[in-house]
């Protein structure tokens, strides 16, 4: 996907909506920093491809990636892309995937809808 996004950027492709739903980037705590870089890079590339007013729908299914950290990564990706963004909706897993109080990593699915200016 990274190669494809870069190729689209090189060819000047632009989109109104992009959905980023990559596989889990982090299996354990030692991989978290690398996963942060991967999520930032993939979202930055997507943001660069959006027309002004375009919508990015981006998701993480990594339990070790908190919603707050994921939101910060997306905001940083927009800054690195030279674009302003607005978080217009936050998503989480449905009620049929309850989270055990003593296992916050069970809140594994999170996402955001962002308008990119």
Say whether 36 is catalytic: no
Alpha helices (H) along 23-86 = 32-49, 67-80
Rounded CA-CA distance 51/14 in Å is: 6
**E strand or H helix at 6:** helix 2-10
Q: What is the torsional sign of CA 17, 46, 79, 112?
A: positive
Q: Which residues are CB-contacts of 77 (< 8 A; sequence separation ≥ 6)?
A: 39, 40, 41, 43, 44, 47
Q: Of 32, 55, 61, 69, which one is the catalytic site residue? A: 61
Q: Angle between the 67-80 and 32-49 helix axes, to the nearest 10 degrees?
A: 50
Please identify every residue annotated as catalytic. 61
């Amino acid at each position: 996907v990274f190669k494809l996004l870069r190729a689209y950027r090189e060819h000047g492709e632009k989109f109104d909506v992009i959905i980023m739903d990559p596989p889990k980037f982090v299996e354990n705590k030692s991989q978290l920093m690398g996963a942060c870089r991967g999520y930032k890079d993939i979202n930055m590339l997507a943001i660069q491809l959006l027309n002004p007013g375009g919508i990015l729908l981006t998701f993480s299914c990594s339990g070790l990636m908190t919603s707050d950290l994921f939101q910060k990564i997306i905001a940083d990706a927009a800054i690195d892309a030279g674009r302003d963004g607005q978080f217009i909706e936050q998503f989480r897993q449905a009620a049929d995937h309850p989270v055990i109080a003593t296992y916050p990593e069970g809140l594994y699915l999170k996402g955001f809808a962002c308008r990119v200016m």
